[in-house]
Amino acid sequence: MSGIVDGRVVIVTGAARGIGRGHALEFAKQGAKVVVNDLGAEVDGTGSSGAAAEVVAEIEAMGGEAIVNGEDVSDFDGAERLVRAAVERFGDLHVLVNNAGILRDRMLVNMSAEEWDAVIRVHLRGTFAPLRHAAAYWRGKAKAGEAVDARIINTTSSSGIYGNPGQGNYGAAKAGIAGLTVIAARELERYGVTVNAIAPAALTRMTEGLIPSGANADPDDIAPLVVWLGSAEARGITGRVFNVRAGVISVAEGWHAGPAVDNGGRWDPAALGEVIPALVDKAAPNALTNGQIPGREA
Whether 2 is catalytic: no
Instruction: Single out the catalytic residue among 29, 74, 137, 157.
Output: 157
E strands, the chain, are: 9-13, 33-37, 66-69, 95-97, 150-155, 193-200, 241-245, 248-252
Whether 141 is catalytic: no
Whether 282 is catalytic: no
Q: How many CB atoms lie within 10 A of CB 238?
A: 20
| 150-155 and 33-37 strand pairing | unpaired
CA–CA distance, 119 with 102 (Å, rounded to integer): 6
Question: Which residues pair with residue 36 across a beta bridge?
Answer: 12, 68
Task: Look up residue 87 and give its amino acid.
Answer: V
Q: Which of 284, 282, 281, 280 is nearest to 255 (CA)?
A: 284
Instruction: Single out the catalytic residue among 137, 158, 162, 170.
Output: 170
CA–CA distance, 236 with 223 (Å, rounded to integer): 19
Asked whether the beta carbons of 129 and 13 are under 8 A apart, the reply is no
CA–CA distance, 80 with 64 (Å, rounded to integer): 25
Q: Give the list of residues 6+ apart from residue 275 with CB closer than 8 angstroms, or none.
A: 261, 267
Asked whether the beta carbons of 48 and 39 are under 8 A apart, the reply is yes
Q: Which of 59, 85, 88 is nearest to 73 (CA)?
A: 85
Q: Considering only CA atoms, give the Rg of the chain.
A: 20
Q: Which of 81, 94, 120, 88 is nearest to 11 (CA)?
A: 94
Instruction: Single out the catalytic residue among 74, 137, 159, 174.
Output: 174
Catalytic residues: 157, 170, 174
